[in-house]
Structure 1
Amino acid sequence: MADQSIIRISKEIGEIQKNSDLSLAVAFRDRDVRNVKAMIIGPHETPYEFGFFEFSFKFNKDYPRKSPAVTCTTTNGGRCRFNPNIYASGKVCLSILGTWRGEPGEEWSPAQGLESILISIQSLMSSNPYENEPGFENANEVADQTYQRDYVAKIRHETLRISIIQKLEDFLGLSSANDPTTPIEYDPLTDSLDLDDSSIPWEPFKDLYKRRFLWYYDTYLEAIKQAQKEVKDGQVFVRMPFEGSSNTMEGTFNYTELEKRLQKIKAALDVEVDRWAMEGVSAKNKDTTVPVNLARQFDQIKESFKRDDVPHNIELENGNPFVWILTYFGRPMTNFDGGMFKIKLNFSPRFPDEQPRVKFLTAVFHHRVTSDGILCYIPNPNRYDDVKQHIDAILNTLEEENPPYDPRTQVHPEAHRLYWGGAEGRKVYNRKLRRSVQRSMEDF
């Protein structure tokens, strides 16, 4: 008889992986479903905004009768406390986990599960996390307001430095092993990491980190510009009353350096797709599985466009099956009517384990396209290996007439604010989009 706890855990993991939630991700290794890695992306309009926070879950055989053990692993090596309830040691204080006293009815029950725990942790990442500290309501009002502001300020800085920058630098080889905060010179075209080296930690969210960084790059820069108006480089973090000597968030502000490091990461990711293309040529010459699969899908999709009388077109750049150029013709009676846009799809030699990077080569002003042309689209989570599903998702994203509001898709701050900024803002947005559509024909 199968272990009922394993069946329950597997089902919960599958449900999270199949949905399109843009702020939660889970993974397990080698069929060991009792040990799960999870990532929460920090909520919009909080000091955690679009940061990447990882947690380890250990489920015992009594699950779901008993809650799992949960540890935060985004702590800068145990040196950073990201919340009154998320300690530098990794301890997560929640009543449903039995790690904090709560009100009656707030304790764990078998009706709860992996997703409800993640949502509870995410709720701690609020716009004012200082409020999570017990006794907050009894604190001195004036002093307390100052502490709240100072606490938000340093969390915002460390979210950028630790949860985003350090992690991406590590993935891209931009930091030394001895000092992960010190950038080193690295050329992604000539240097590479041995992905089969067993000494390399298991990083199931590496590709997700990279793609989301490109989505949120403009927002990160905007956050830095705003923060530089509020704090000065070299200013020391204020210690909170509830922070102990080994359970604190200490440091100094240096947004100038963080901006440089963000720019360096962006440059490395831009070059990474060039390396993919070069690796793709080598893989094609060796007639390996991935290029054969991509070439077959390319032929099928190109034929389907012709058969279905679709105006769009696809071509391979220099015959490379890892680089596709999609020509998109704006649908009549929409804001894209009369426009023609070239969109590049770069595929990794490790596709579909690494998802394609999609970028507009023709400039467009759109709330789902970054200022640099990166498209924020959501492919079918059940068909990551199907390029047609990716193309359909790209077209649906552009042509969706009444998309639901979702702050997790804020990839172009100005366009996002205009699009969701009321009737007047929407008018300005539509004018800017139409101008970019009109200009698109000038590039051909």
Structure 2
Amino acid sequence: MANQNILRITKEIKNIQQGNDLSIAVAHQDEDIRSVKAMILGTPGSPYEYGFFEFSVKFGQEYPSKPPKVEAKTTNNGRTRFNPNIYSGGKVCLSILGTWHGELPGEEWSSAQGLESILWSIQSLMSNDPYGNEPGFENRATDEDKKKNEAYCAKIRHETIRVAVIQKLEQMLGIQADGLLPKPSESEKWSDDSSDDEDEEETKEKLKWEPFNDWQKRRFLWYYETYLTTIETHAPKHKEGDKFDIMPFEGGSNTMDGTFQYGQLGKRLLRVKEAIDKETEDWAQEGLAAKQRDSSKAYAMQSQFNVVKHSQKGGGIANIDLELENDNPFAWIVTYFGKPGSNLDGGIFKIKISTSVRFPDEQPRVKVITPIYHHRVSKDGVLCYTPNKPDEMKNHIQTIVYALEEESPPYDPRTIVNPEASKMFFGSDDDKKKYSRSQRRSAQDSLDFGM
């Protein structure tokens, strides 16, 4: 039975890790597969939008006959209750977990359910009507209740950005909330003092295990424009220092207390963005240092470059040219030639792929240097894409080209990194025509860029 238990858990974890859901992630350390960390991305369009919510999942010996124990970790050190069903102390109230008694058939736990269904159930709590998650309030629709829900959403929205985005990134980057200079980042702690790769790995193992740092940083870059827009939109609605409303079901230490401080959040958000950009720039220096000491990682990355470069002679990936920046195997420059017949036809776009010496544990950060109007590219040039084979650089480039050329993708708000362009791309026929004109114009302008 114990072996079946382990096999079941292993399969569920693997299915999530190999899936294409951009909003959930799971990880475990090799020595303890029953102890899982999970990350849930806040639901787009809700007050939890693109927040990073971490949970611990502990599987017992009786799983799947009995559900695992789940605890919320994004609680501001036990001070913030993010939902009527997600307590500040970490308790997650769900009928399928046995922590709440459901009233409808099928709400209780069954062995047919699993880790993925648990995470989806938790994510479903992160809605536009969190007030209605509290028992006794779910069917109340008076004007007063609507106002209460609006007030509840307002403070959840603020605390999502403050606690579940900015604070998390500040902690992992070593930035203090008061704006003091950052301490050395984890990448700096891991890098050039090591004489060889083995020493580097030993140093890394001594650090606290945080498997989602890179996952969060990449998504922060994707959704930075959305975070910024949220602050700019809601700051005028709340005077700096105004206290949050207390909900009828909040009490004791199980509350979400605080004040609106959107002005400070805007400054802190920018500092996080600058720190991640600086970290990305530092990767190039780490890469050159690795090359100079003949690191096996530098050799492996150079080999991947040679494979892709050689494949181009035989046709390879359409519409691109490839080179190294400063002969650095960790800094790739892709020249993308707009697909013939598309809106980008005739355009020439420079794309920089910055890769860490910890690849693939840290995934490449891709920036389109040449200005381009595209729903998958932020105003700052950050390109949103998800490779099928994250450890193969060739697949990264293939997926980048595919993202730029995909003509009729399904609507997925999690891939929206340029809200203005996305609104046109997925809008009315007139909007789509405006999008096409803007994209063709960017292709024309690309020919003059850098001249």
Per the normalisation by structure 1, the TM-score is 0.95
Q: By how many angstroms is 1:410 displaced?
A: 1.0
> Does residue 394 of the first structure (1) align with residue 390 of the second (2)?
no
Q: Which runs of 4+ in 1 moved over 6 A?
A: none
Q: Is the 8 A contact 1:188 1:271 kept in 2?
A: no
| Paired AA for residue 11 in structure 2 | K
Deviation of 1:134 (Å): 0.8
**Conserved in 1, the CA contact under 8 Å of 2:354 and 2:366?**
yes
Alpha-carbon separation, structure 2, partners of 1:338 and 1:55: 48
Shift in alpha-carbon separation, 1:35–1:322, aligned structure 2, 3 A: same
Do 1:339 and 1:440's aligned partners in 2 also have CA atoms closer than 8 Å? yes
Establish whether residue 123 from structure 1 lines up as the match of residue 124 from structure 2: yes
Range with bigger deviation, 338-347 or 131-140? 131-140
- Return the alpha-carbon distance in structure 1 between the equivalents of residues 17 and 308 of structure 2: 27
Q: Give the structure 1 partner of residue 343 of structure 2.
A: 335
Taking the aligned partners of 1:229 and 1:128, their CA distance within structure 2 comes to 22
1:69 aligns with 2:72: no
Residue 105 of structure 1, CA deviation: 2.3
Aligned CA distance change for structure 1 residues 191 and 90 (closer, same or farther; 3 Å): closer
Whole-angstrom distance in 2 between the partners of 1:172 and 1:138: 43
Query: What amino acid is the match of 1:146?
Result: K
296-305 vs 3-12, which deviates more? 296-305
Match of 1:151 in 2: 152
Partner of 2:357: 349
Residue 186 of structure 1 deviates from its aligned partner by 2.1
Q: Tell me if structure 2 keeps the 8 A contact 1:346–1:357.
A: yes
Deviates most, 41-50 or 132-141: 132-141
Q: Which of 318, 322, 331 is the aligned partner of 2:330?
A: 322
Q: Secondary structure at the match of 1:229?
A: helix
Residue in 1 that maps onto 2:35: 35
Corresponding residue to 1:385 among 388, 391, 397: 391
The CA deviation at 1:395 is: 0.4
> In the alignment, is the contact (CA less than 8 A) between 2:290 and 2:298 conserved in 1?
yes
Asked if the contact 2:131/2:138 (under 8 Å) is kept, the reply is: no
Mapped to 1, the partners of 2:428 and 2:65 lie a distance apart of: 48
Range with greater deviation from structure 2 (349-358 or 190-199) = 190-199
Structure 1 unaligned segments of length 5 or more: list them. Answer: 176-180
1:178 matched residue in structure 2: none
Please name the residue that 2:257 is paired with.
250
Deviation per CA, 1:397-431, whole angstroms, max 9, x where unpaired? 01111101100011011011111112111111111
How far off is 1:45 after superposition? Answer: 0.6
% of aligned pairs identical? 55
State yes or no: 1:411 paired with 2:417. yes
Q: Which residue of 1 aligns with 2:90?
A: 90
Counterpart residue identity of residue 333, structure 1 = G
Q: CA deviation at 1:296?
A: 1.1
Change (3 A) 1:257 1:361: same
Query: 1:190 Cα deviation (Å)?
Result: 12
Q: Is the 8 A contact 1:189 1:274 kept in 2?
A: no
Say which SS state the counterpart of residue 335 (structure 2) adopts. Answer: strand
Name the CA distance, whole Å, in 2 between partners of 1:62 and 1:133. Answer: 30
Give the 3-state SS of the residue equivalent to 1:336 in structure 2.
coil
Residue in structure 2 matching 1:259, options 252, 263, 266: 266
Is 2:176 the partner of 1:172? no
Distance in 2 between the 1:90 and 1:359 partners? 37
Give the whole-Å Cα distance in 2 for the aligned partners of 1:128 and 1:191.
40
1:298 shift after superposition: 1.0
Q: Is 1:192–2:196 an aligned residue pair?
A: no
CA distance in 1, matches of 2:99, 2:187: 45
- Deviation track 1:321-352 (CA, whole Å, cap 9, x = no partner) reads 11110000011111111111000000101111
Which whole-Å CA distance do the structure 2 matches of 1:274 and 1:422 have between them?
Answer: 40
2:281 to 266, 274, 283: 274
Shift of 1:297: 1.2
Distance, in Å, in 1 between the alignment partners of 2:187 and 2:408 is 45
CA distance in 1, matches of 2:374, 2:411: 14
Summarize the Cα distance change of 1:413–1:61 in structure 2 as closer, same or farther, 3 Å threshold. same
Comparing 434-443 and 133-142, the one that deviates more: 133-142
C-alpha distance in 1 between matches for 2:93 and 2:186 = 45
Distance 2:24 2:185 in 1: 32
- Distance of aligned partners of 1:197 and 1:392 in 2 relative to their CA distance in 1, 3 Å threshold: closer
1:127, distance to aligned residue in structure 2 (A): 1.0
1:421-442 deviation line (CA, Å, top 9, x unaligned): 1211111111111111110011
Shift of 1:61: 0.7
Match of 1:6 in 2: 6
Aligned to 1:214: 221
2:197 corresponds to which residue? Answer: none
Please give the alpha-carbon distance, in whole angstroms, between the structure 2 residues aligned to 1:291 and 1:154: 47
Alpha-carbon deviations, 1:72-105, whole Å to 9, x = none? 0000001000000000011000000010010232
Give, as a single letter, the amino acid of the residue that structure 2 aligns with 1:7: L
Partner of 1:22: 22
Q: Distance in 1 between matches of 2:72 and 2:312?
A: 47
Which residue of 1 is the match for residue 194 of structure 2?
Answer: none
